[in-house]
């Protein structure tokens, strides 16, 4: 890890702890469609990623952030990691803003959109990677994890399952896929630890294409 990723973890922890204790602070910086569209508080698009609902929510996001940021920094550089993370947060929140634009009460928090982007960028750049998750005794191929994650997020978005910003997860995942693909195209002829296989990208695009269909249907 480098100083930027360590700084993001520290900032997220401090920001979240402040939100745990200060309701006014939490309400000011959480993602909320009315505050953004009507109140012109666009800083919420980024600041909301540094807030979390509880310690468990914070821990699992930072746990995933730690491993995948380390993977991207070590293999592809700190600048690439930072661009993927921030752009994935914004992509996830812009998708949420579009989907919930007519629901002034919709609110969300968490770094999941950015973490999703890190996960999917890593899977694209190293398609044969495996994920060793807590409480799961066997490694899971990254592309299978990606499909399961997207499918679950689509189901959660349609059913409003739990207090989770599934649409932000999906937007972040899409940005991670896009950034990973751009990196592959730019450096495919160089030795940059790229292990890209098109078939795995095509498989992970299936649930994303379905997402596009849902967004178009919602707009109509």
Which of 15-19, 107-111, 151-155, 212-216 is the least confident region?
212-216
pLDDT score at 200: 84
The pLDDT value given to residue 114: 94
C-alpha to C-alpha distance for 105 and 65, rounded to whole angstroms: 29
Q: What is the pTM of this model?
A: 0.88
Q: Is the pLDDT of residue 8 over 80?
A: yes
**pLDDT score recorded for residue 152:** 79
Q: What pLDDT sits at residue 170?
A: 86
Model confidence at 42, in pLDDT bands (50, 70, 90)? very high
Q: Evaluate if residue 71 carries a pLDDT over 70.
A: yes
pLDDT, position 1:
64
Q: Cβ(176)–Cβ(89) under 8 Å?
A: no
Q: How confident is the model at residue 2 (pLDDT cuts 50, 70, 90)?
A: confident
Query: Domain count of the chain?
Result: 1
Is the CB of residue 158 less than 8 Å from the CB of residue 218? Answer: no
Is the CB of residue 117 less than 8 Å from the CB of residue 175? Answer: yes
pLDDT of residue 78: 92
Of the candidates 95, 117, 91, the one whose C-alpha atom is nearest the C-alpha of residue 106 is: 95
Query: Which residues partner with 140 through β-bridges?
Result: 131
CATH code where residue 107 lies: 1.20.1540.10
- pLDDT of 216 > 80? The answer is no
CA R_g for the chain = 17
Q: How does pLDDT run across 162-174, given as a tens digit for each residue? A: 666 778 888 898 9
- Residue in the structure block whose two tokens are 């294409």: 209
Cross-strand bridge partners of residue 195: 126
Domain range enclosing 106 = 3-219
pLDDT at 207: 82
Res 195: pLDDT: 80
Residues above pLDDT 70, as percent of the chain: 92
| Residue with more model confidence, 142 or 219 | 142
Q: Are strands 140-141 and 130-131 parallel, antiparallel or unpaired?
A: antiparallel
Give percent of the chain with pLDDT exceeding 90: 38
What per-residue confidence (pLDDT) applies to 89? 96
CB 168 within 8 A of CB 107: no
């Amino acid at each position: 890890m480098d100083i930027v990723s360590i700084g993001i973890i520290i900032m997220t922890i401090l920001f979240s702890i402040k939100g745990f204790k200060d309701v006014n602070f939490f309400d000011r910086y959480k993602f909320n469609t009315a505050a953004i569209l009507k109140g012109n508080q666009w800083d919420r698009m980024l600041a909301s990623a540094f807030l979390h609902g509880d310690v468990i929510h914070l821990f699992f996001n930072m746990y995933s952030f730690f491993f995948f940021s380390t993977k991207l920094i070590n293999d592809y550089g700190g600048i690439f990691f930072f661009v993927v993370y921030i752009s994935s947060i914004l992509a996830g929140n812009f998708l949420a803003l579009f989907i919930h634009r007519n629901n002034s009460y919709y609110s969300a928090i968490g770094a999941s959109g950015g973490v999703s982007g890190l996960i999917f960028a890593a899977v694209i750049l190293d398609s044969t990677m495996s994920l060793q998750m807590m409480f799961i005794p066997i490694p899971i191929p990254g592309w299978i994890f990606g499909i399961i994650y997207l499918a679950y997020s689509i189901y959660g978005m349609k059913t409003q399952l739990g207090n989770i910003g599934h649409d932000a997860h999906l937007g972040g995942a899409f940005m991670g896929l896009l950034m990973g693909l751009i990196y592959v195209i730019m450096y495919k002829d160089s030795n940059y630890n790229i292990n890209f296989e098109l078939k795995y990208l095509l498989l992970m695009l299936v649930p994303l294409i379905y997402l596009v269909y849902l967004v178009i249907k919602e707009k109509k």
